[in-house]
Amino acid sequence: MAKHYFKNDYSEGCHPSILTALAETNLAQQDGYGDDDYSQESKALIRSAIDQPDATVHFVSGGTQANLLVASAALRPYESLIAADTGHVSVHETGAVEATGHKIETVPSSDGKLHPESIAHLLKQAGDVHSTQPKMVYISNATELGTLYSKAELTVLSSFCRENGLYLFMDGARLPVALTGRGNDLGLAEIARLVDVFYIGGTKNGALLGEAIIITHPAIKAGFAFNVKQRGAMLAKGRLLGLQFLCLLRNDLFLQLAQRANDLAGKIADEIRALGFPFLVEPATNQLFPILPNAVIRELETACAFYIWKPLDEERAAIRLVTSWATSEEACDAFIALLRHIAKKSLN
């Protein structure tokens, strides 16, 4: 762990203000299972932020848990979820949604995003008793590739879903970096209006754990808490989740933390670009996918920790660099200096 660390955005504990709040409230006696004051206050803050007083909010522990809860609450047994073939819910959750009985119908996507044209063909299954009935479109923002939905894209997709009786569900495990990402033109309230259910990720943005699931569609709201309990996702000390979101939401701390992660990534991205290396996808948030020669990668690995995302050919691969609210300026500077050094050397 001595290396400069760019493997993910959940390798540290939490923002110090959360530790302070935990200490200050530690001996306050609160009701369990989410009926504590902090959870109530957090939920009120969220409803106010999205300007939807009737939205329901549920705090849960993580993204996989949020995804399986939403799918199992919203879908009847024969209904399916539509996702990009790169969708986290399809490839990185050990079949969590399928374990609740639902098929995920996947469609190809090069940038991690879904559009009406990429999913329209699945509507032909409607009414065919031999096929699952697609009912919910799963998107993530930022996507697994760090790309963002524009207001225009999300508006078109939302209209398509509503015209076709599909729920639209946004996995927001990395929503804060999307909201503060380069070129983003979507606000929280706008997203809440365009989708039926989404969540704001805390785990990857400064919390010890926690995702805030926000539901605006009445059919998905109904009975959701029973589902949370039944799937083992209801914490006895729900205060732990409520209090953390209270910290993150007050003064928009969650956006400040995300902005910081994005800024540090942007600084590294600028340097990579300046040195002439391309990207697998154009950077917009705290995830960078630069394409580098294998020799460069090997040398970077001596001092920096990151994942090799995808070999491209015999000589090059895309790596993944992730910054977070906790990444230090020093780590970024060290990475940049090393990359410059390697690049310069190879020119000689």
Q: Which of residues 200-219 bind a second copy (CB under 8 A)?
A: 203-204, 208-209
Which of 46, 57, 68, 114 forms a contact with a second copy (CB under 8 A)?
Answer: 68
Helices (H), 204-328: 218-221, 224-230, 239-249, 253-274, 294-301
Let me know: does 272 contact 340? Beta carbons within 8 Å: no
Reported for 160-166, long-range contacts at CB under 8 A and 24+ positions apart, including other chains, are 160/116, 160/119, 160/120, 161/137, 161/196, 164/123, 165/135, 166/82, 166/134, 166/135, 166/136, 166/137
Nearer to a second copy, 194 or 253 (CB): 253
The sign of the torsion formed by the CA atoms of 246, 213, 12, 301 equals: negative
- Options 62-70, 140-148, 160-168, 177-185: segment touching a second copy (CB under 8 A): 62-70
- Options 45-53, 71-79, 275-283, 333-341: segment touching a second copy (CB under 8 A): 71-79
Retrieve residue 279's tokens: 């990207």
Nearer to a second copy, 146 or 210 (CB): 210
Nearer to a second copy, 206 or 283 (CB): 206
Nearer to a second copy, 141 or 327 (CB): 327
Q: For residue 32, state whether it binds a second copy (rule: CB under 8 A).
A: yes
Q: For residue 108, state whether it binds a second copy (rule: CB under 8 A).
A: no
Q: For residue 102, state whether it binds a second copy (rule: CB under 8 A).
A: yes
Which of 53, 54, 77, 121 forms a contact with a second copy (CB under 8 A)?
Answer: 77
Q: For residue 130, state whether it binds a second copy (rule: CB under 8 A).
A: yes
Which of 39, 42, 56, 80 forms a contact with a second copy (CB under 8 A)?
Answer: 80
Q: For residue 303, state whether it binds a second copy (rule: CB under 8 A).
A: no
Write the CB contacts of 326 (distance below 8 Å, at least 6 apart in sequence): 11, 12, 206
- Residue 140 CA to residue 144 CA, distance in Å, equals 7
Tokens 């993910």 correspond to 8
